Amino acid sequence: MSDNRFFKTHRAWEDWFGMLLGVLIMVSPWFPIQVTDTGDLERTHLVLNSFVVGMLVLGLAQLEYVALHRWEEVATVLLGLWLIASPYVLGYAMDQGLQLWHIVLGALVAIVGALQLWQDWNLSEQELAKHS
């Protein structure tokens, strides 16, 4: 029988995984699968988007590692959803390699954020402060 507490307790590896996802998002425009030749202006927007979202995901994961707050997890979920939608909103959906990476990485960020929010939902402020 499996131990159900594994998914019910906020663990440090989840924060480290969030930090790794942040770094992967930042470098995703340079992953080797990119095959389309987008213009410099379009490339600038998608690189800036990837860098900003990646830095925010990395920063939020670091904050969660130090001190838990529910707003960090909500922000993480929103960033994951933005990363999924950004190829369509910013118009680089024709770059199917980067679009796929952003959908997968965004989904992972949103799932990890939702898992952490679920784990911490019923904890008091004192219990959240004990996480370290």
Tell me what pLDDT residue 21 has: 96
Task: Give the residue among 72, 49, 52 at the shortest CA–CA distance from 60.
Answer: 72
Q: Copy the structure tokens of residue 56.
A: 């925010």
9: amino acid identity, one letter: T
pLDDT at 114 over 50: yes
Q: What are the domain boundaries of the chain?
A: 10-126
Residue 8 confidence (pLDDT): 61
